[in-house]
Amino acid sequence: MALKLYHATSEYAADRIEQEGFRCGTHGFAGGAIYFSQNPDGACRKYRNGRGNPDILIECVVRLGRMLEAAKNTVDEYDVRCRGCDSVKISSFDVYAVYDPHRVNIMTFRRIGGVPFQSMRALRFEEQRQKDQEQRLPLHFQQQRVQQYHRPQLEARPLLQRVVPQHVPQRVPQREKRPSHEAWQSGLLPLACLGGVILVAMAALFG
């Protein structure tokens, strides 16, 4: 029988597990074994007997083989082997124990609450990529603000040209030209002649 199970551990231990594989511990509910939980939260709660905060959650496919169900602290590897079993399920607990590391196939690594990766190297590469991206974000936002500041001015310029009519220079009216001296003489000469005729006629009439 094979199950998808989880093992919570520190980042340092996760690197060792990826390079060298799992190793049996020295103590636990079923003696020195490799412990897993079917629920990720359960695996985190059982890290260092609930006295620590794990860094990495390892997802595995565990071939349990012939499984013995027993109460906690009642069996160890010797008892399990003597009964012809390969693994232990602790009664009333989400705890599975195996004694053979070759029964464990590692699937993914993930930060607690993060997304899974196939290796610790891939996990760190993605984290570094996100850090580099966050460092470039302020410059990107600054450029975006500059573009947003200048864009309304550029867009408003054609609108202002449509709303405000262009200035058309008006023609300044020219001053009326005063008649020259010759024009005055040409106009007064007939009047003088007419006045002389009138005076002669009046003298003849009353003389």
From the first residue on, what is the mean pLDDT of each consecutive set of 10 residues in the chain (207 residues)? 95 95 93 96 88 92 96 95 96 96 96 94 93 74 55 49 54 59 55 66 68
pLDDT for res 160:
45
CA-to-CA dists, residue 115 to 55, 57, 87, 111, 183, angstroms: 13, 10, 29, 7, 106
The residue among 65, 110, 106 whose CA lies nearest residue 88 is: 65
Has this prediction a pTM greater than 0.75? Answer: no
Give dist(CA 37, CA 95) in Å, integer. 5
Return d(Cα 55, Cα 44) in angstroms, integer.
9
Within 10 A of 31 (CB to CB), how many other CB atoms are there? 19
